[in-house]
Amino acid sequence: MTRIFTQFVMLTLCLMALCAFTAVSLFRQQAAVTGLLKDHMQGRKAVIELRECLRDVIELEKNRNEEVAVLHERVRDLLETLKRVADGNEERNLHGRMVQSFNDYLNLWKALPPKGAADHEEAFHRATQLLEEDVLQPCEAFEESNSRRIEYSAVEHERILGQHAWGLAVVGGLGGVAGGVLGYGVARNFTRTLQRLRVQVRDAAGKLLPDEPEIILRGEGGMQSLGDDMDRLSVQIGETMHKLQQRELEVLRAKQLAAVGQLAAGVGHEIRNPLTSIKLLIQTAIEDGGDGLSTEDLIIIEAEIRRMEQSLKTFLDFAKPLRIERQRTTIDGVVGGVIDLLRGRATKQKVAIVFEKPPHPVPLEADPQQLRQVFVNLGLNALDAMPGGGTLTFRIDDRTAGQVFVEVCDTGPGIDPGMVPRLFEPFASTKDTGLGLGLVISRRIVENHQGTIGVAKAIQGGAAFTVKLPREG
Residues 455 and 431 both lie in one domain: yes
Give the pLDDT confidence score for residue 291 in this predicted structure: 59
Cα–Cα distance for residue pair 404/358, rounded to 1 Å: 11
Strand partners, 467: 406, 453
Q: Which helix (H) or strand (E) holds 397?
A: strand 390-397
- Looking at 320, 351, 379, the residue that finishes a domain is 320
- Indicate the number of domains in the chain: 3
DSSP string spanning 296-313?
HHHHHHHHHHHHHHHHHH
Residues 313 and 396 both lie in one domain: no
- Looking at 285, 320, 355, the residue that finishes a domain is 320
Cα–Cα distance for residue pair 82/92, rounded to 1 Å: 9
Residues 460 and 338 both lie in one domain: yes
Residues 366 and 406 both lie in one domain: yes
Give the pLDDT confidence score for residue 217 in this predicted structure: 46
Residues 332 and 459 both lie in one domain: yes
Tens digit of pLDDT per residue, the chain (473 long)? 556 657 656 777 776 777 677 767 767 776 766 766 677 677 778 778 877 877 777 777 766 666 677 778 888 888 888 787 777 788 788 888 888 888 887 887 777 777 767 777 787 788 778 877 888 888 888 878 777 777 777 777 677 777 667 766 776 776 677 677 667 666 666 666 766 666 666 666 666 555 555 444 444 555 566 566 667 767 777 777 878 888 887 776 666 555 555 565 556 655 665 676 676 667 776 776 655 667 776 777 776 677 676 666 666 655 555 677 889 999 999 999 999 989 988 999 999 999 999 999 999 999 998 899 899 989 988 998 899 899 999 999 988 888 999 999 999 888 877 777 777 676 656 555 555 677 888 888 899 889 999 888 776 778 899 999 998 64
Residues 315 and 374 both lie in one domain: no
Give the pLDDT confidence score for residue 267 in this predicted structure: 61
Residues 333 and 315 both lie in one domain: no
Query: Is-contact 47 146, C-beta < 8 A?
Result: yes
Residues 309 and 329 both lie in one domain: no
Query: Is-contact 263 437, C-beta < 8 A?
Result: no
The residue segments making up the domain with residue 17 are 2-184
Residues 316 and 338 both lie in one domain: no
φ/ψ region of 113 (left if φ > 0, alpha if ψ in -120 to 50, else beta) reads beta
Neighbours of 133 (CB within 10 A): 11
Q: Which helix (H) or strand (E) holds 213?
A: none
Tell me 219's DSSP state: S
Cα–Cα distance for residue pair 31/37, rounded to 1 Å: 10
Give the pLDDT confidence score for residue 215 in this predicted structure: 46
